[in-house]
Amino acid sequence: MHRGSFTPFRTVPGRALRAGSLVILAALPFFAAAAAPLVAQRAPTAEPLWTLDGFDVPESVLYDAARNVLYVSNIEGGFDQADGQGYVSRVSLDGEVLERRWVEGLDAPKGLGLRDGHLFVADLTNLVEIDVETGRIVARHTVEGAQFMNDVAVDDEGTVWVSDTFAQRVYRFAGDGLETWVEDARLAGVNGLYPAGEALLGGSFQTGAMLRVGRHEPVVEVLSEGWAAFDGIVPDGRGGWWVSDFAGRVFHTTDPHSPPVHTVVETRSARLNAADIEYVADRRMLLVPTFNAGRVMAYRIVW
């Protein structure tokens, strides 16, 4: 879960694992982010950029490059309740709320994904499809046995992938209906997903494992452990990955086979969660929804 008022950040009222080794070189066909070559780099750091208050349990942030806008999912009611209180906000990259309640009538919206001008939202037992031009819900897709859809990922072929944390599943939507792609005990607590070559990288909120899920064959592998309450995962634009720990950390890694060793955001002492994160590479902007604290926090990454 998946993409506070006690930070030293500037608040805008009303606005807002090691260095690469032979192992990672061998794994590049599977784990390099699309069109993002692995390059030598020092450990990144994160500088506070802006903080935007006033959200209602913000769970995920997604960047829409075509419209240069951020979408934020707000659970508002119970995180596992079909109560109709959830909504999606539109926010500028400068931390200004464009539309607080842009799309309403959702239950407990979490992960977000974009395909062909449609926003897909993981909403408990439904994958909700929204036309971004009109802001209208155009479809609700479900599948038998769905329990807690959490994150959404869209690959370069246009296939939409959805994790189900409680059902231990990953679903597949290619335009002809939502289907169970794989159900596996190793997917217990599965949360964040992101396409990586011929597979999906993901992780378990429950076990703290980094997972690989095949996109062409329904196979699941555990790559590493020690990722705490694994929530979101997004590429860094340089061949590595940002991974959030829901307790309040964001890790950086270049090797999914190894546990995390570098933390770029640490807010546990302030009781600020780190839910389903987003990264805008050309701005070096890391965005962290804080869930219970009702904030979205933006950082500038320094390499």
**What is d(CA 187, CA 86) in angstroms, rounded to the nearest whole number?**
26
pLDDT at 41: 59
pLDDT in tens, the chain (303 residues): 444 332 333 333 334 333 333 333 334 444 444 444 445 558 999 999 999 999 999 999 999 999 999 999 999 999 999 999 999 999 999 999 999 999 999 999 999 999 999 999 999 999 999 999 999 999 999 999 999 999 999 999 999 999 999 999 999 999 789 999 999 999 999 999 999 999 999 999 999 999 999 999 999 999 999 999 999 999 999 999 999 999 999 999 999 999 999 999 999 999 999 999 999 999 999 999 999 999 999 999 999
b (16+ CB within 10 A) / e for 232-248: bbbbbbbbbbbbbbbeb
| Cα Rg, the chain, nearest whole Å | 17
Label the pairing between strands 69-74 and 58-64: antiparallel
Q: Are 24 and 254 in contact (CB under 8 A)?
A: yes
pLDDT of residue 26: 38
Bridge partner list, 99: 90
Residue 30: predicted pLDDT: 41
Q: Which pLDDT score, from 0 to 100, does residue 119 have? A: 98
Q: What pLDDT, on a 0 to 100 scale, did the predictor assign at position 208?
A: 98
Reading the block at residue 69, the tokens are 């806008």
Q: Which domains, ranges and CATH numbers included, belong to the chain?
A: 22-302 (2.120.10.30)
pLDDT of 20: 37
The reported pLDDT for the residue numbered 40 is 53
Per-residue confidence (pLDDT) for residue 179, from 0 to 100: 98
Give CA–CA dist 274/266, Å, rounded.
9
In the prediction, which pLDDT does 34 show? 43
Q: What is the pTM of this model?
A: 0.87
